[in-house]
Amino acid sequence: MHVVVNAAMSADGKLSTREREPIAISGGTDFDRVDGLRADSDAVMVGVGTVLADDPSLTVDDPDRIAARRGRGKSPQPARVVADSRARTPPDARVLDDEAETYLLVGERTASEKVERLDRAGATVIATGQARVDLPAGLDALESRGIDRLMVEGGGELIFSLFDAGLVDELSVFVGPMVIGGRDAPTLADGDGFLEEFPDLELIGVERMDGGVLLQWDVA
Ligand SMILES: NC(=O)c1ccc[n+]([C@@H]2O[C@H](COP(=O)([O-])OP(=O)(O)OC[C@H]3O[C@@H](n4cnc5c(N)ncnc54)[C@H](O)[C@@H]3O)[C@@H](O)[C@H]2O)c1
Ligand SMILES: Nc1nc(=O)c(N)c(NC[C@H](O)[C@H](O)[C@H](O)COP(=O)(O)O)[nH]1
């Protein structure tokens, strides 16, 4: 499976404010590029922290891109994936609407009532891992369902864990023209952080956009 992480951060590296309020860091050009990346992916993934904070739809907006997917014999919308260890995704979350297929990766200790409730809300629930979702096993399960190209939109906890597990192939970061600040504001990679061995990145693209800059890296 090929995994692309894409996110937008402020010039000081924050994904949102300390109150985790949704905030547009990207401008129109970058949001359109993100729509194109979604359209090129088999699935779009976030952590449940992002579902609870932003209630994203994770769907492709541009009708031409939706038509092109159909033309390539794909479903009109990429699938959606939420890493959700304790099954906290609200049954009325937008990721569970009828626009696209949705996989919820939950921990194996999740109460069966919660799993059944999300199942009734239309999700395909995959249980793997104990306290937290086992990401390598979860991504293998997705691959066995035909997901070969996965785009990850965040947030910082999930992105760190994917790097920690060595699962990221590409990183695209839009650095927007603003300072958010706050020691408790989410950053691009949170979690426990690395101490000794840091993932190596190879810069493959730099582009001015929306008053900021898009940086693209391959992960060594
Ligand atoms: N600017 C951007 O591009 C962007 C993108 C996405 C999210 N955000 C922002 O990020 C914030 C949410 O990020 P966050 O870091 O709090 O949450 P997150 O979206 O990274 O979700 C973290 C949750 O995912 C679940 N999870 C399951 N398995 C996991 C694993 N193995 N490792 C890590 N998490 C696992 C856990 O329940 C964990 O609490 C929000 O404020 C949102 O607005 C910004
Ligand atoms: N690329 C990008 N630029 C931003 O400035 C920003 N705030 C996000 N945030 C990602 C986050 O996951 C959002 O929740 C989804 O971008 C919303 O997705 P929808 O439009 O609802 O599908 N992403």
Of all protein residues, whose CA lies closest to atom 4 belonging to ligand 1? 15
Q: What percent of the chain has pLDDT over 90?
A: 98
DSSP 111: -
How high does pLDDT run on average in the chain? 97
Position 169 confidence tier, pLDDT thresholds 50, 70, 90: very high
Instruction: Give the CATH number for residue 93.
Output: 3.40.430.10
pLDDT at residue 109, rounded to an integer: 94
pLDDT value of residue 104: 98
> Cβ contacts of residue 37 below 8 Å, gap of 6+?
4, 6, 151, 172
pLDDT tens digit sequence for 37-72: 999 999 999 999 999 999 999 999 999 999 999 999
Residue 17: the pLDDT is 97
Ligand 2 atom nearest the C-alpha of 6 is: 1
CA-wise closest residue to 141 among 153, 128, 152: 128
pLDDT tens for 179-218 read: 999 999 999 999 999 999 999 999 999 999 999 999 999 9
* Top mutation candidate among 6, 15, 135, 210 for ligand 1, by most atoms within 8 Å of CB: 15
Count of structural domains within the chain: 1
Instruction: Show the domain range for 131.
Output: 2-219
Rounded Cα–Cα distance for residues 37 and 21 (Å): 24
Question: Rounded distance, CA 135 to CA 87, Å?
Answer: 15
Alpha carbons 43 and 41: distance in angstroms, whole number = 5
Handedness of CA 60, 135, 47, 177 (dihedral sign): negative
Q: What percent of the chain has pLDDT over 70?
A: 100
Q: Per-residue confidence at 129, pLDDT binned at 50, 70, 90?
A: very high
Whole-prediction pTM value?
Answer: 0.97
54 C-alpha to center of ligand 1: Å? 10
ipTM of the complex: 0.98
| 118 Cβ below 6 A of ligand 2 | no
Residue 152 CA, chain-centre distance (Å), reads: 3
* Tokens coding 108: 């194996």
54 lines ligand 2 (CB under 6 A): yes
pLDDT score, position 16: 98
